[in-house]
A and B are shown apart, each in its own frame.
Chain A
């Protein structure tokens, strides 16, 4: 078996605020293999962006990585000094943000931003870097790149800007890209194109992707595996077909229940009654217990751990390898627990 590109173990991220220490990420673990796309879903505030920022080393005070490990090709990167981290960012790990309208520096030509990134991470000279920049713009589907390279960001449409952002992320051929809701801010008409572009470019290069999105249709089509996050924890993670078609965790079931069978409109997350707890107010035991219709005594006391192997419930699909669920319904003795 090959080695994962990114390996996150028991990650904890905290924000020190006036109200005390908020634990935004609590015990998150997952691996991403070369060329694999891990879809990450969950309500707003579940900790998807913070997880991405932690991997790319951009958690800034008052935030801090309070525990766990992040490994890139087996090497720990969560405890590197800022300068070593900077060298990895953009070169080995890249990130695509949500809003292409604000991701580009308005005062620099698109070409200047590309060339600076290329010069920072490669041995190319200025002329070669410019040629490379034009090539990249061409690859991401910008028409007439020789001319457009000297344009300013405001001269591009939203979809075109996100293509530029993708080109910027690909400058140094990274092994791993965090795409944090890359199409949420875009017109519905161009969303599919941008996702297709990311998928195509990453497949060609064997780039692993952590794709954060609200769009279950995109997950079903694009991701190899899915992680469902809730209140800073992974509720369920596994191969996309299992998790989307046969979700086990009650929260994941609620989410997946929302997907229309025909991937047409309205593939947004379903409204599960209640709302996610505030970070300052996460209940003891399972974080989902106040909203869960299957809740029982143990849920309010003991926190379910997604790392323990589990059995399927009667009548449900058996767990596939790599499918993990953080729910007491799926422990070794479900009958004993049910009450």
Chain B
């Protein structure tokens, strides 16, 4: 088991190194950082001094080493637009994105699971057909369109929910701000979370449905029925547990995509998260923010992958053996 964990961590580190290289190349070759920092009327020797002090004249490999070293210390330099450390800018906005992403993921997982199980067990019922139809819509409509439709319906026409921002937030600890503790914060969360989670929800629903139908056809379910076990135990014990194994993996991996795709939802709902910051950074060629965001998303993906692999082993006894060897 330990060897497995160590091997997976090494692989993760290798992936992160590759991501760092991409981020670094972006830094180095997309636009000239010095041009972003100086005005048109800055004297040439001033520009040269700046270039020297930023280390831009060092060999590329040295610069890459420095980039990694700084990244390990959460130092991604100073934003061209804001003249503030990038890390601080991201940290301020991380709670908004993470709260949105986790709410969306929880929504996707629970609703998707319930709908998927229902569709598998009551395959021919009219409600199952409706769920299937909804899932088609969820898969085919682009996120921004879903967001706009939800805003139009619930914010503009019905006026039930806000369409903009995070509502009132409460400071929690040193730098975390949460919208979970105020009514306006929770209300503001609903539409963006649904928008962001809808695609994943339909994905999970379809996955759960397909997996469960597959499991229901297996010999061990047939044998469980032949032993006269209670229907509830067969459906929600034996079958569901086996269904969940592949679902855990996919759902876990989707969490990374949810955080990454938050960009679009944040834009539609003007949600003050990292995605919005990143989009502004792209518009203004603010490379430090772009590089840091890329590294962060890469890190989250790798971390989630790692955690999913490890929990997978905890759930499935067959894999525990495989990991030991």
Q: Tell me the A residues contacting B by CB distance below 8 Å.
A: 56, 58, 82, 86-91, 94-95, 97, 99, 102-108, 116-117, 120-121, 152, 154-155, 165, 168-169, 171-172
Contact = CB atoms under 8 A, between A and B. Distances in A.
22 contacts: A56-B226, A58-B222, A58-B226, A86-B230, A88-B228, A89-B227, A89-B228, A90-B228, A91-B228, A94-B226, A94-B227, A102-B219, A105-B224, A106-B220, A107-B241, A107-B317, A116-B229, A117-B227, A120-B227, A120-B230, A152-B318, A165-B223
Contacts of A105: 220, 224, 238, 242
A97 B222 contact: yes
B228 A103 contact: no
B226 A89 contact: yes
A88 B227 CA distance: 9
B140 to A, nearest CB: 29
B231 A86 contact: yes
Contacts of B84: none
Nearest to B239: A105
Contacts of A86: 225, 228, 230-231
B128 to A, nearest CB: 15
Which of A87, A97, A171 counts the most B-chain CB atoms under 10 A from its CB? A97
A104 B317 contact: no
Nearest to B315: A107
B176 to A, nearest CB: 37
Contacts of B233: 116, 120
Interface string B184-225: 000000000000000000000000000000000011101111
Given A86-B225, A95-B226, 14 more contacts: A88-B228, A89-B226, A89-B227, A99-B219, A102-B219, A104-B220, A106-B317, A106-B318, A107-B317, A117-B227, A120-B229, A120-B230, A152-B318, A168-B227
Contacts of B229: 90, 116-117, 120
B322 to A, nearest CB: 10
B223 A168 contact: yes
Contacts of B242: 105-107
Contacts of B3: none
Contacts of A99: 219
B321 interface: yes
Interface of B: 218-220, 222-231, 233, 238, 241-242, 245, 315-318, 321
A46 B181 CA distance: 67
B220 A58 contact: no
A56 B220 CA distance: 16
Contact of A154 (B223, B228, B318): B318
A103 B317 contact: no
B317 A102 contact: no
A114 to B, nearest CB: 10
Contacts of A116: 229, 233
Which of B226, B233, B242 counts the most A-chain CB atoms under 10 A from its CB? B226
B67 to A, nearest CB: 45
A56 B226 CA distance: 7
A82 to B, nearest CB: 8
Contacts of A103: 219-220, 223
A107 B316 contact: yes
A91 B229 CA distance: 10
A87 B220 contact: no
Q: Which 10 A-B pairs have CB atoms at the shortest separation, nearest pair first?
A: A90-B228, A89-B228, A90-B227, A102-B219, A95-B226, A105-B220, A152-B317, A103-B223, A117-B227, A86-B228
A154 B222 contact: no
Nearest to A117: B227
Nearest to B216: A60
B223 A108 contact: no
Contacts of B315: 107
B223 A171 contact: no
A56 B321 CA distance: 36
Nearest to A82: B231
Contacts of A58: 222, 225-226
Contacts of B241: 107-108
A58 B231 CA distance: 13
Nearest to B242: A107
Contacts of B245: 107
Nearest to B238: A105
Contacts of A108: 238, 241
A171 B223 CA distance: 13
Nearest to A91: B228
A299 to B, nearest CB: 38
A165 B8 CA distance: 37
Given A97-B219, A105-B220, A105-B242, A171 B227 contact: yes
Contacts of B318: 106, 152, 154
B238 A87 contact: no
B226 to A, nearest CB: 4
B223 A104 contact: yes
A172 B229 CA distance: 12
A19 to B, nearest CB: 20
Nearest to A172: B228
A56 B318 CA distance: 31
Contacts of B226: 56, 58, 89-90, 94-95, 97
A286 B245 CA distance: 51
A102 B220 contact: yes
A108 B318 CA distance: 11
A170 B202 CA distance: 43
Contacts of B227: 89-90, 94, 117, 120, 168-169, 171
B222 A121 contact: no
B218 A102 contact: yes
Nearest to B223: A103
A120 B223 CA distance: 14
Contacts of B224: 105
B223 to A, nearest CB: 5
Which of A94, A106, A152 counts the most B-chain CB atoms under 10 A from its CB? A106
